[in-house]
Amino acid sequence: MTIVKSMKKIVIYVASRCLCKILEALAFILFILFNRPKRSAIPPIVDRNLVTPAVKLSQQMRDGQLTSEQVVQSFIKRIRSVNPLINAVVTDRFEKALDEARDIDSRIAAARAGNGDTSILKMPLVGVPVSVKSTIGIEHLPLTGGLKARELTTADKNADVIDLLQKNGLIPIALTNIPELSRWWDSNNPIYGATNNPYDLSRVPGGSSGGEAALLASAGSVVGIGSDIAGSIRIPANFCGVFGHKPTPKIVSNEGTFPSANGEREMLLAQGPLTRYACDLVPMLKVLAGPKVDQLKLDEPVDMSSLKLYYIEDFNDPLASGCNTDIIEGMRSAIKYLVDKFKISAEKVYLDELKFGFLLWAAEANKEPNLPKFAELINNGNGELNPIVELFKKIFDVSDHTFNSI
């Protein structure tokens, strides 16, 4: 009997794996036939300001070598150049950004001359433009969540994180694209359309902070802010080759964002930084954490040799696509570097439960009985969306929702 059960498990595993491979091959063939790669379409970078970390740009401003207005102008010009290709920016505030940049330049000049508040010279990111995921409210700018029903909705005040950014001298320059209700790993919605990956315009940038990652990767921004409930910072950072960090829950305020999270679900949501350069992550996190920054102990040295490293290459789910070999090799190279340099121990582990990862996350995200269902949220609170009716409408191109949402 035991042998029969074992054979049955093997047959099911092999059949599932074959099905997965067939679907992968079919998807690849359809992609090649109908959506050919469009690489090398992004204009080359010719402005040095676009390839300089934010901390260095700010230091040059404080040293009188550069002005905030010059830097903001550089990124405005770049956004206007790349956005028609990647569709990452949904709303800009260029004129207000330039006004704020000029004001900061005046304050820096006064402080350097000994005629103003010198605290501005101690702000590590002062004068730097910052892009913002469009789920985060900026007063009077759209706060739609990618929902057609909220197309005319604007934020009546700044989100807490925007106030913190501006208090520390950063200048919001644009809002970036998201998927509908910020729920998918592409960045496509019925209001603004789809964002493209700057490395290949036929591919998605990840989601839900895909507009942020795409803009950073194309040098349209140097630092940005996104949000993450199930990979929404980490996935697009990976897809677009930039840096992102999901902070510990409730360290960074979620106030003033849409869609919002309540109750236990809020423990899964965090606003966090995305950056073009790794050296800008910690300064950005310090700004976003605000009064709670001391809880993170970011300035305490870390003894790398005392750490233990555990890593996973596969969780043996027959219906899951395997990790790209380039990514596996990259991870192995990073592990080897850490082991050789810091003499840490690294152990490859296998966690069978990870095959149920999405189901476990979904159960945690929906365990509160009084929270609205997704079918209600996607319909902007006007009852539950009927997927059958909406799918029929989609066939005739009269639906207000993306196929993913339906």
Question: In the 3-class helix/strand/coil scheme, how is 197-223 assigned residue by residue?
Answer: ECCECCCCCCCCCHHHHHHHHCCCCCE
pLDDT of residue 40: 64
pLDDT of residue 236: 98
Place of tokens 């063939």: 29
Percent of the chain with pLDDT strictly greater than 90: 69
Q: What CA–CA distance (Å, rounded) separates 307 from 305?
A: 6
Sign of the CA dihedral 180, 182, 188, 191? positive
Provide the pLDDT confidence category of residue 169 given band limits of 50, 70 and 90. very high
Element housing 393 (H / E): helix 387-395
Query: Which 3 state secondary structure label does DSSP give 235?
Result: helix
Whether 208 sits among the annotated catalytic residues: the reply is yes
Provide the pLDDT confidence category of residue 150 given band limits of 50, 70 and 90. very high
pLDDT of residue 360: 75
Q: What is the pLDDT of residues 171-185, one digit of tens each?
A: 999 999 999 999 888
Check whether the bond before 260 is cis (ω within 30° of 0).
no
Sign of the CA dihedral 147, 153, 159, 165? positive
pLDDT of residue 321: 79
Tokens of 205: 């940038």
What count of Cα atoms within 13 Å lies in the side-chain half-sphere of residue 129?
Answer: 36
Rounded mean pLDDT, 103-118: 96
Please tell me the pTM assigned to this model. 0.92
pLDDT of residue 395: 85
Q: What CA–CA distance (Å, rounded) separates 206 from 41?
A: 19
Position 1 pLDDT exceeds 60? no
Q: Among the options 209, 221, 232, 399, which is catalytic?
A: 232
Rounded mean pLDDT, 88-100: 98
Domain ranges in the chain? Answer: 1-34, 39-297
Q: What is the pLDDT of residues 349-404, one digit of tens each?
A: 988 888 777 777 777 666 666 777 777 788 887 888 888 888 888 888 888 989 88
Q: What CA–CA distance (Å, rounded) separates 226 from 94?
A: 20
Q: How do beta strands 193-194 and 308-311 pair?
A: unpaired
Per-residue DSSP letter, 187: -
pLDDT of residue 10: 67
Tokens of 218: 């194309």
pLDDT of residue 322: 79
Rounded mean pLDDT, 227-248: 96
pLDDT of residue 261: 80
Q: What CA–CA distance (Å, rounded) separates 215 from 83?
A: 8
Tokens of 300: 């305490």
User: Interior CA angle at 288 toward 282 and 290, to 5°?
Assistant: 105
Place of tokens 């405005």: 76
DSSP 1-53: -HHHHHHHHHHHHHHHHHHHHHHHHHHHHHHHHHS---TT-SPPP--GGGGS-
Sign of the CA dihedral 159, 160, 162, 166? positive
Rounded mean pLDDT, 232-247: 97
Whether 133 sits among the annotated catalytic residues: the reply is yes
What count of Cα atoms within 13 Å lies in the side-chain half-sphere of residue 367?
Answer: 12
Place of tokens 């059958």: 388
Which amino acid appears at position 140 of this protein? H
Q: What CA–CA distance (Å, rounded) separates 294 from 290?
A: 9
pLDDT of residue 217: 98
Task: Determine which of 9-18, 20-29, 133-142, 282-291 has the lowest per-residue pLDDT on average.
Answer: 9-18
Position 5 pLDDT exceeds 80? no
Rounded mean pLDDT, 117-139: 97
* CB-count burial class (<10 Å; 0-12, 13-18, 19+) for 394: middle
Q: Among the options 58, 68, 74, 208, which is catalytic?
A: 208
Reading phi first (left if > 0) and then psi (alpha if -120 to 50, else beta), residue 140 is in left
Q: What CA–CA distance (Å, rounded) separates 43 from 32?
A: 24
Q: What CA–CA distance (Å, rounded) separates 96 from 127?
A: 13
Rounded mean pLDDT, 264-288: 94
Position 22 pLDDT exceeds 60? yes
Position 303 pLDDT exceeds 80? yes
Q: What is the pLDDT of residues 70-87, one digit of tens each?
A: 999 999 999 999 999 999
Q: Residues 6 or more apart from 259 whose CB is under 8 A from it? A: 135, 145, 181, 182, 377
Rounded mean pLDDT, 150-163: 97
* CB-count burial class (<10 Å; 0-12, 13-18, 19+) for 303: exposed
Q: Among the options 68, 131, 133, 405, which is catalytic?
A: 133
Please count the other Cβ atoms lying within 10 Å of the Cβ belonging to residue 43: 11
What does the mean pLDDT of the chain come to? 90
CATH number 3.90.1300.10 given to 39-297: yes
